[in-house]
Amino acid sequence: MDHLTSRFRRNKRESPTTPTSQDPSPASATTADTKPALPSLSITTTPLTTPPGSSNGSHSLLPKSPLRSFNQFRAAHKRARSPAPVRTNMPSIMSSLSPVDTPTGAPTTPTERAKGPQIPPFLKLSEASVEYRFQELAWRERLRSQQGLQNPSPNFQFARVLSPETKILDRYANIQPWANNRVRLPVPEGKLDYINASPIASPSPLRPNTLPCFNYIAMQGPKFNTVEHTWRMVAQLKSPVVIVMLTDTHENFMEKCYPYFPGSTQAQDIEVGQMNEFGDGFRARVECVSQEERQDGAIQMRKLNLHVDGRGDSTVWHLLYRRWPDFGVPKVEDYDSFFELMKLSRDLSASTDNPRIIHCSAGVGRTGTFITLETLMREIDEGAMDDVDPELNDDDDDLVFRTVNHLREQRRTMVQSDSQYALIYKVLRRQWLERHGLLNDTENERAPKRLEVYHDPFVEHNG
């Protein structure tokens, strides 16, 4: 990671060959002594040969897109016309961002620069530049998927899950974990260990040696036939477990997530293992101990008790956020409740090593946006972005681009829509200006309640 941080000082992946398996947290070792024989939750990963976020990490596997060569020309001629979006019929995604390159009050002269930090270049990008970078991410995503279909090696980093038995377990046909970066259920040998969930490691891009890595499990919203799989997975994590749910169970008259948890203290408990699907006698019960609303109902916080027969009880904190519309973004007035959600999830978690479970409907759009924002907002809060070189202005120097690209290397389509990608720049810009006392009225404009997204007839869209 040293070469990564050096690009952000003031002065200016070959694919692996063998997958490894690791536990998501120290819980596996802790619980093994107290619980009866049951296969441990395992995570199949293919480690990268370069540190996450490396500016060259993707190019070892992916050829350059046509847009990259154009971007290099544009970088050499900074006043050349910005590239047109790849999708000519895609509406603007950046109407809520200020088009100016320099915020009011930001230091611009050498004397002013000496007095304080400058806003990082990637936080003052034009609308066209942000759209271009989202299209570059989409290009890399297509190449990974293409290589996953063409490369027959099961050890290939972007190998696809090809088992036909998994299809009925997926909420969306086009959203699956990479075969070599997925959570494996603790089930007897020979049984299907699949769950649509991916381990996500999101380290600090600027201070990896001093700030702990954020660890998550990005999961699809459970279906009726995967509720028991979800609780089997949760039972292997260290108590207390935190689950962040970023979708309502139904939106626009469509099921986005099956109600896999008891909604209140009066609700019927969830019984797990009655049908003995895996033949190992695993039985568990989930009950709601308490429920409260925070931030005027934006957050529903439930304390759940997960009792596993013969193994004891675990506390599960379930945080349901209700102000993030499907295919849209939170409104500016809801930012505080969203930030409170992040803080609550961190404070309630057992440790940074114990992964928090984050899910929306598909487990990629809102989920990826949450993880990206939490990762990069910490860089602002810790002052790490104060040292970003103001002359760095390429997509590989863009922390948003690189963080999202790194997440997509671990789970497909993370930060799914252009409006979600634009939101990340907007929130980070606002946070940086607020930290340095430069926030003005132009940064407080209302975000659109709902942004329309381009619909590709060959791709299912799910937030």
Q: Which residues form the catalytic set?
A: 360
In whole angstroms, give the CA distance from residue 185 to residue 195: 7
Q: List phi, psi (to 5°) of 419.
A: -65, -35
Angle between helix 127-150 and helix 66-76 axes, rounded to 10 deg:
150
Q: Could you tell me if 24 and 233 are in contact, meaning their C-beta atoms sit under 8 angstroms apart? A: no
Contact residues for 4 (Cβ-Cβ < 8 A; gap 6+):
51, 53, 54, 55, 205, 208
Burial 209-240 (b: 16+ CB within 10 A, else e): eebeebbbbbbbbbbeebbbbbbbbbbbbbbe
Percent helix, strand and coil across the chain, each to the nearest 5: 30, 15, 55
Token pair recorded at residue 428: 């980070």
Q: Could you tell me if 424 and 162 are in contact, meaning their C-beta atoms sit under 8 angstroms apart? A: no
In whole angstroms, give the CA distance from residue 219 to residue 63: 29
Q: Helices (DSSP H) in 301-391: which residue ranges?
A: 335-348, 365-381
* In the block, residue with structure tokens 């086009």: 174
In whole angstroms, give the CA distance from residue 412 to residue 117: 35
